[in-house]
Structure 1
Amino acid sequence: MNSSPPPPAPSARRRLAALAVAACLLTAGCSGTADDAAAASGGKPDSGRIRIALVTHGGEGDAFWDLVRKGAEAAAAKDGVDLTYAGDADTAGQAELVRDAIGDRVDGIAVTLAKPGAMKQPVAEARAAGIPVVGLNSGMDAWRSTGLLEYFGQDESVAGRAVGDKLDALGAEHTLCVIHERGNVALEARCAGVKKTFGGVTEMLYVEGTDMEAVRDAVAARLGQDTRIDEVVMNGARYALTAVRAVHDAGSKAQVATFDLDKDLVAAVKRGDVQFAVDQQPYLQGYLAVDGLWLYRTNGNVSGGGTEPVLTGPAFVTKANADAVGRFAAGGTR
């Protein structure tokens, strides 16, 4: 397809209008010259403010995605970008949101690739329409083959291997790695990484992440079945706090560690309820994705040369540095 797609159907327009209520609409002008913008947009001069859509697989009300959004909004404020944020945990819904952005003729799209196969066609449609697309957060192993311009995030395999090494250093022997979304490539890569380097036993437990009580019950049940499990590794801050309760329910002596954090999780690390957390810096991911698109549209820059990702993690948060991280978490940026 060599031309821009037709405008979206009325239903798509209504959905975009609803999403715009949550958009960060700012008043500063764009930086860069007309020639720069024209070069980045295939020779078509940019006559107005740059418009960027950030489309994630995050569910509504999830503190993690609030951090991603805050970072994106900070970059938009600095760059004078009109930013629209939308998220849908359903892959078909996320793909449709990308197509809505294409129909709205935005100047750039930032997208997560939790399930890359579902996003490949929408990304191809965006590229055919002349819209640059960058990735963030999920899809480290698939962003280039999916056709993305840049990628900002954590190498989940590297992060998982680092956790495995840390568990060895702590003397753990039997780890339960809990995956709350089957098929999510980032979560799968994390647990696979743990298993690769951890010297003890690593087992995976799949749970229904949309039901926190079900997560709690499943973890508690598994701990009750096998008292040899001495470490529970979760894949999100709120899931880690749920696991702390599950350990109590089961009367287990297992420790809890996790990927990702928020201010409540940092407090739990300080109390000793959670051993450590791996911070992939979601605020930074959102910030860099928007800023990267702005730089590309105004100056033709491509971070990582289009072949290497820009890494935002992993960074460990323990009792030793929880106070320092907590200052930023309290401000809603970590």
Structure 2
Amino acid sequence: MKYASKAGLALLAVSSLALVGCSGDQGGGTDTGAEGSGNIAVVLKTASNQFWATMQDGAEAAGSDAGVKVTVQSGTAEDSVDEQTTLLQTLAGSDYSCFAVAPITGTNLNQPLASVSQAGIPIVNLDSAIDADAAKASGIEIASFIASNNSDAGKQAGEFMAEKLGDGAKVAVIGGIPGDANSAARTGGFTDAATAAGLTIVQEVNADWDREKALDAATTILRANPDLGGFYAANDGMALGIVQAGQNEGRTDLIIIGTDGNKDAIESIEAGGLSATVSQYPYAVGTLGVDACRALISGATVPAQVDAPIALVSADNATEALASYPKPFQEYDNPFLDLIKK
């Protein structure tokens, strides 16, 4: 089944809706929904990042539309590993019929997830992959992995960069946290596409997903490479830091591409700052995660992996993207809706 970009599709009649705030010492989180086909717990990285906050919005909306109780929890920061693990440990001791999780690292949630699996409760992995070998060793069964194709996102950015700059231009790459699989896939996809099109990568550095660190790194790179043509950043926050660095250095001609499709990034594109972002539609990932849980709770077998939608947003379609935000401005497949047993 496909989701429409604006009107959306009605899932089930909503009988009631309650929003309950969770305690501050547990990071960002809410409960939403009413009694339905089972309680669903969603554990994300941090609601302080617009990407994850938007994923939370999508999960909560899917629960509300279906009349299913969805509890969303997340840490206070993107590197709050111990906090996120503790959150899941607490939730694992409660009455939930399915868990949808986006771990900060490939293994930090494995201990509580092992107990979830042993109890026969289904697990859906969102966006950031749980390490497959470590999961197998811990007896963790992942019912479905839902994520954007990060390598393809980087590839689209690389092709767009090459189209704008032409053969022989010099570009730089700024990644997230060293060793992060999503960052590596995005920057790897970009580098492969850019070099294949004749661009030269003069430097690649990491800025830990941080806007200020990206600003500082970009400033250093620009001063060392005055003929640089552009930057690719593995997320939008860092890309906007690069935009600021370019403005500070008088380089408003740079082609700067981010990844995620956050609202402030799309607004920057409309204003002539950022050149493009590869939108990964976290809202859709959240929706898909809850719908996967609903299907699993109903007794269905779900696909082992589902690719979430992505789209390159530039000046050509930024207005359309903003009009639909946070939902995708194009239709996308949701295979879980047809699997939910009534």
- Which bracket does the TM-score occupy, shorter chain normalised? 0.7 to 0.9
Measure how far apart 1:185 and its partner are: 1.1
Deviations 1:177-208, CA, capped at 9 Å, x for gaps = 21232222101110011112212223321124
> Which letter does structure 2 place at the counterpart of 1:149?
A
Deviations 1:84-104, CA, capped at 9 Å, x for gaps = 111123223222222211112
- For the 8 Å contact 2:156–2:190, the answer to whether it is kept is yes
1:257 partner SS: strand
Structure number with the higher strand fraction is 2
Identify the residue that residue 9 of structure 1 maps to in structure 2.
none
1:116 partner SS: coil
2:30 partner SS: coil
- For the 8 Å contact 1:232–1:256, the answer to whether it is kept is yes
Deviations 1:246-303, CA, capped at 9 Å, x for gaps = 11122334221111122222122122211111011100000110111011102x2233
Identify the residue that residue 138 of structure 1 maps to in structure 2.
128
Identify the residue that residue 259 of structure 1 maps to in structure 2.
259
The 3 A distance-change label for structure 1 pair 94 and 22 is closer
- For the 8 Å contact 1:19–1:85, the answer to whether it is kept is no
1:57 partner SS: strand
The number of residues matched between the two structures is 293
Identify the residue that residue 340 of structure 2 maps to in structure 1.
none
TM-score by length of 1: 0.79
- For the 8 Å contact 1:150–1:302, the answer to whether it is kept is no
> Which letter does structure 2 place at the counterpart of 1:163?
A
Gap regions ≥5 residues in structure 2: 1-21, 329-342
Distance 1:21 1:121 in 2: 21
Deviations 1:132-188, CA, capped at 9 Å, x for gaps = 110111228859866311121101112212222222222352222212322221011
Identify the residue that residue 31 of structure 2 maps to in structure 1.
24
Distance 1:147 1:109 in 2: 12
The 3 A distance-change label for structure 1 pair 175 and 333 is same
> Which letter does structure 2 place at the counterpart of 1:57?
K
Q: How does 1:7-18 map to 2 (within 5 A)?
A: none
Identify the residue that residue 155 of structure 2 maps to in structure 1.
161
Measure how far apart 1:105 and its partner are: 3.4
1:24 partner SS: strand
Mapped pair 1:225 → 2:224:
yes
2:109 partner SS: helix
User: Which moved further from structure 2: 315-324 or 284-293?
Assistant: 315-324
Identify the residue that residue 187 of structure 2 maps to in structure 1.
191
Distance 2:97 2:147 in 1: 22
Distance 1:100 1:17 in 2: 14
Distance 1:92 1:141 in 2: 17
Measure how far apart 1:113 and its partner are: 3.7
Distance 2:24 2:172 in 1: 44
Distance 1:275 1:232 in 2: 10
Measure how far apart 1:233 and its partner are: 1.2
Identify the residue that residue 5 of structure 1 maps to in structure 2.
none
- For the 8 Å contact 1:114–1:185, the answer to whether it is kept is no
Gap regions ≥5 residues in structure 1: 1-14, 32-49
Equivalent residue in structure 2 for 1:55, among 28, 40, 43? 43
Mapped pair 1:315 → 2:315:
no
User: Which moved further from structure 2: 110-119 or 255-264?
Assistant: 110-119
Aligned-pair identity in percent equals: 23
The 3 A distance-change label for structure 1 pair 176 and 122 is farther
Identify the residue that residue 44 of structure 1 maps to in structure 2.
none
> Which letter does structure 2 place at the counterpart of 1:280?
Q
Identify the residue that residue 101 of structure 2 maps to in structure 1.
111
Distance 1:65 1:312 in 2: 15
Mapped pair 1:82 → 2:69:
yes
- For the 8 Å contact 1:270–1:322, the answer to whether it is kept is yes
- For the 8 Å contact 2:39–2:96, the answer to whether it is kept is yes
Identify the residue that residue 245 of structure 1 maps to in structure 2.
244
TM-score by length of 2: 0.78
Measure how far apart 1:16 and its partner are: 7.1
Measure how far apart 1:55 and its partner are: 0.7
> Which letter does structure 2 place at the counterpart of 1:277?
T
> Which letter does structure 2 place at the counterpart of 1:230?
G
Distance 1:326 1:234 in 2: 21
